[in-house]
Structure 1
Amino acid sequence: MNKPTYVQEYKAITEVLNKYNDGCKQAQSSIMKPAFNEQATIFGVGADGKLTGGAIQNLFDGIDSGFRPSPEAQNAIVKIDIVGTAASARIDTNDVSGFCFTDFFHLLKVDGHWTVVSKIYHTHVAP
């Protein structure tokens, strides 16, 4: 049997993404910050249908000021796709401070470590 190609990379990416998940659940950006490159961006579409976002600090500020701890929150890493030093991932999250999201992440392996360089998201109508 051939050696599995990306098993170790998959595990490393999962660890990075779980920092984001834990930071959302606990409403503390300090928990998720290590998952993101300092140059990372975040974008979504606001209720008015217009593009919103920019520097990843917007996410951190929003988590710290507008979210509350949500022990009931659930998330699933739906997909991770890896090619060499590039990867993409999708996370679906329910009940984070009353919100439900689908997030898409782009990651790069920089200096031997996976880091999120961009996040786009869709906010679902909460049930």
Structure 2
Amino acid sequence: MSKPTYVPEYQSIVEVLNKYNEGCKQAKSSIMKPAFSDKATMFSVDGDGKLAGGAIQALFDGIDSGFRPSPEAQGAIVRVDIVGTAASARIDTNDVSGFCFTDFFHLLKVEGKWTVVSKIFHTHVAP
């Protein structure tokens, strides 16, 4: 019988995702950047219903230039699914610089470490 690995893998993924949450909260891409692969991408649908996004650097630039620290921001890891070296996760955030987001992440375990390789998101209408 092999030893179950779900709990330690889950904990490692949560640690990666919490870097993203904390980077959003503090409006510092340097905190979240280690969570992402250099090859990661980010996409969403813009106000005209068109696909928008590309390289993950756009996230880092946006966080550093367009966001402000939000001590009141809240992020919840809603779901984590793990199969071998692949995982997906959902995070819902409230009041990140006045925005609310639902983010979907794809992660891969590369050279023994979990890393985000893609992010798609939905921006909710502000209350």
Place the TM-score, normalised by the shorter chain, in its bin: over 0.9
Long gaps (5+) in structure 2: none
2:71 maps to what in 1? Answer: 71
The percent identity for this pair of structures is: 83
1:29 maps to what in 2? Answer: 29
1:8 maps to what in 2? Answer: 8
Q: Distance in 2 between matches of 1:36 and 1:102?
A: 17
Per the TM alignment, residue 41 of structure 1 is displaced from its structure 2 partner at its CA by 0.1
Q: TM-score, normalised by structure 1?
A: 0.97
Query: How many corresponding residue pairs?
Result: 126
2:87 maps to what in 1? Answer: 87
Query: SS of 2:48's equivalent?
Result: coil
Q: TM-score, normalised by structure 2?
A: 0.97
Long gaps (5+) in structure 1: none
Per the TM alignment, residue 16 of structure 1 is displaced from its structure 2 partner at its CA by 0.1
Give the AA of the match of 1:52: A
Deviations 1:71-111 (A, max 9, x none): 00011000000000000000000000000000000000000
Q: Distance in 1 between matches of 2:99 and 2:51?
A: 19
Q: Distance in 1 between matches of 2:125 and 2:100?
A: 7
Per the TM alignment, residue 3 of structure 1 is displaced from its structure 2 partner at its CA by 4.8
Residue 18 of structure 2 is aligned to residue 18 of structure 1: yes
Per the TM alignment, residue 49 of structure 1 is displaced from its structure 2 partner at its CA by 1.0
Q: Distance in 2 between matches of 1:3 and 1:69?
A: 42
Deviations 1:39-77 (A, max 9, x none): 000000111111110000000000000000000001100
